[in-house]
Structure 1
Amino acid sequence: MSGSKHIDWLHGRFGTVVLWALLIACESGGQIATKIGGDQLGQMDFSLQWLHAVLLNPGVWVAISCYIGAFFVWMLILRRSTLSLAFPLSSLVFVAVLLASWLGLNEQISLLHWLGVAVIIGGIALLAEGEQN
């Protein structure tokens, strides 16, 4: 089997879904890791001691890794999509972070936040429908 057949899946619809899932996972993971790392650091004044603690914090390194991964995935997404569609779709990260903070960090989410999630998902549905026409 030639090398190009091994990566053909990446250029189809399935590949697009995989890239979006990776982007949402990387960006959401970066936000959650930043929150956890910040909580672990506590209330420290900005100083060399704080900077040293940041550099030794695993949550910070996970966040940095997630953001680097998200950057490369975003580049792949933008190669196959218009920015005017891709950027609004990236708002799914807001939904994923809200869900992860609720499920993983036990944060309380207000009814207004849930309404915001519904509005975001509705807006994405409208954008997707507009792309079909």
Structure 2
Amino acid sequence: MKRFYLVGFFVLVCFDTFAQICFKLTANHAMPPEASTEWLLRILSSPWVYAAIACYVGAFFTWMTLLEHAPIGPAFAASHLEVISVIALSVLLFGERVGAPQLIGCALILAGIVCLAFSETDGKPSS
């Protein structure tokens, strides 16, 4: 079951991360932002927007499957790992800068996941 969780959360993080990267690529494709029909058509003409939607559908089904089996506390916390992966890929792909607030946020997300994981294992009887 542990392998199921690891693979499931890895797939979920991949879907969520790729969706966010696709939205960024869509936004870049649709530049400049403006309230116009042309801007909306630029968004709809980008293949990245459809890839993002497909990723969100995949993430939804992955999340629903995980929720059937995984404890909710660690599952909810682990689902936020995509914040860290999006920040890392944004630096690599788009040259974005990461400051202290982002690094502190990433550390807090990881700390929360670790705390919840330990609390779940401590509450279960030994086999």
Q: TM-score, normalised by structure 2?
A: 0.87
Q: 1:66 aligns with which of 17, 30, 55?
A: 55
**2-side partners of 1:41 and 1:31: how far apart?**
15
**2-side partners of 1:112 and 1:49: how far apart?**
36
Q: Which residue of 1 aligns with 2:125?
A: none
Unaligned runs of 5+ in 1: 1-11
Q: Is the 8 A contact 2:73 2:116 kept in 1?
A: no
Map of 1:18-57 to 2, 5 A cutoff?
18-57=7-46
Q: Which residue of 1 aligns with 2:115?
A: 126
**CA-to-partner distance for each residue in 1:9-62, whole Å, 9 max, x for gaps?**
xxx221221110010000011011101111110124233333322221011111
Question: Across the two proteins, how many residue pairs are aligned to each other?
Answer: 122
Q: 1:89 aligns with which of 74, 78, 81?
A: 78
Q: Pairwise CA RMSD of aligned residues?
A: 1.4
- Does structure 1 residue 105 correspond to structure 2 residue 61? no
**CA-to-partner distance for each residue in 1:69-109, whole Å, 9 max, x for gaps?**
11110111111123333112211111111111112221110
1:120 Cα deviation (Å)?
A: 1.2
Moved over 3 A (4+): none
1:119 Cα deviation (Å)?
A: 1.5
Unaligned runs of 5+ in 2: 123-127
